[in-house]
Structure 1
Amino acid sequence: MELQDAIRTRRMVRSFDSDRPVPAEALARILHNGTRAPSAGFSQGQAWLVLREAELEKFWQFGSDAVTDTVRTAPLVIVPFSCKRAYLDRYAQPDKGWTDRDESRWPVPFWHIDTGMAVMLQLLTAVDEGLGALYFGIVPDRVQSFKDAFGVPDDYEPIGAVAIGYDTESEKRDLRARRRPIESMVHYGMWSR
């Protein structure tokens, strides 16, 4: 599949074939491609928790508040994590020199942004593999109990979850009418009124 085709056809899928597992090769490629995302200072402060089968039932105790029941048919969920410590550690090294580890040096939390870019690569890879996917959030008041249940270290934060599987949606949503015109989003040289 060409990149433009993957971008054009990528959409959030909310219903999956629970009887068709994601092939191991597809999962390996999805995970590998996530590691190819940009990472400030090559900090690589991302990690993924891969959940299948019985692990999914446990996950849905914490993750189902943000999705419809049909999403629970996904045979695979990948939870992406960002780690601020990895960035602060990397930028405290001699070639960067921020030994004070002051977070105010960061204009935005790149640990979350870089992990989000990794997720986008994974979403596009799922499309390329002929799969559907849905990125969704974990409700904030469930995050700590989720982390405790799955033994996630304190310095790793989930930035959402990605349900993946074969798409069974009978009606594909056409969102073209709701898509903002590019002219309202792109500003050349100066922000126009």
Structure 2
Amino acid sequence: MTEFSDVVRNRRMTRAFGNDPVDPAIVDDLVDLASRSPSAGKTQGWHLVVLEGAATARFWDLSLPADKRASFRWKQLLNAPVIALPLADASAYVDRYAEPDKARTGLGENEAAWPVPYWTIDTSMAVMTLLLGAQDIGLGALFFGVFNNESAIRAELDIPEHLELLGAIALGYPVDNPDDEAQQGAGAGRSSIRARRSPDEIIHRGGWTGTPQH
């Protein structure tokens, strides 16, 4: 185990993986850790569809068909032995807040009663915890959007229509990516060379204008 601050500071999105499998027990441990993330009403209204080994092709064949892979920059991303799809369940939150101890909030009426979609927030926090957990044990992980053929992927994996698909997580053992190293610092616009904002640029103490309250 490393210090938490080191885990956070060293975490990176991994785009190059080796072929070594990840023990399913490790995935279980990471999900158990993620399940301890904050959850409104302890609803825990999120799910994870996990594809392992050869089964990851069920995702890639639809999200990145073979005829498009020649021009795909991150070819070693496809080596990731685990692809996990995080899903948020809004109905679980409506049902939970219709229970007697939460009914007074009015949030059990319907999804529209919620000023903020806590199902998305909670699932996102669980994903972040999983990413940090992977970093802590020496695994690489990448969260990325599912921008192509989502409907076909949902049908292939029998994902219920009412669940919100946040994206996908690739998980595995990281390897050096020569293509990435060759591009480091080459050309403007790469996210990795953007300056990190300082606390002074982020914090608005006392209000948006930053006027302290006394």
Q: Indicate how the Cα distance of structure 1 residues 100 and 52 shifts in structure 2: closer, same or farther if over 3 A, else same.
A: closer
**TM-score calculated relative to the size of structure 2:** 0.81
Deviation string for 1:64-109 (max 9, x for gaps)?
Answer: 3898333111111111110001001111112221376233321211
Work out which of the residue numbers 144, 147, 150 in structure 1 matches 2:154.
147
Gaps of 5+ in 2: 66-71, 186-191
Residues 125-168 of structure 1: per-residue CA shift (max 9 Å, x gap): 100110111000111x6222211111112222211111011111
Instruction: Note if contact 2:34-2:130 (Cα within 8 Å) is conserved in structure 1.
Output: yes
What residue in structure 1 maps to residue 29 of structure 2? 29
Which residue of structure 2 lines up, in the alignment, with residue 86 of structure 1?
92
Q: Which has the higher contact order (CA 8 A, sep 6+)?
A: 1
Write the distance in 2 (CA, Å) between the matches of 1:44 and 1:23.
Answer: 24
Displacement of 1:189? 1.1
**Between the two proteins, what is the percent identity of the paired residues?**
37
Alignment RMSD (CA, Å):
2.3
What is residue 200 of structure 2 aligned with on the other side?
183
Specify the code of the residue in structure 1 equivalent to 2:153: F
Unaligned runs of 5+ in 1: none
Q: Which AA in structure 1 matches 2:172?
A: G
Code of the residue aligned with 1:72 in structure 2: it is L
TM-superposition CA deviations, 1:167-187 (whole Å, max 9, x none): 113439694752122211111
Matches within 5 A, 1:1-193: 1-18=2-19, 20-64=20-64, 68-97=74-103, 98=106, 101-139=109-147, 142-170=149-177, 171=181, 175=192, 178-192=195-209
Per the normalisation by structure 1, the TM-score is 0.89
CA contact (8 A) 1:26 1:129 kept: no
TM superposition outliers: structure 1 runs of 4+ over 6 Å: none
Report the AA paired with residue 35 of structure 1.
S
Instruction: Say which SS state the counterpart of residue 28 (structure 2) adopts.
Output: helix
**Hey, what's the Cα distance between the residues in 2 that align with 1:163 and 1:181?**
29
Q: Which of 1 and 2 has greater Rg?
A: 2
Aligned residues: 191
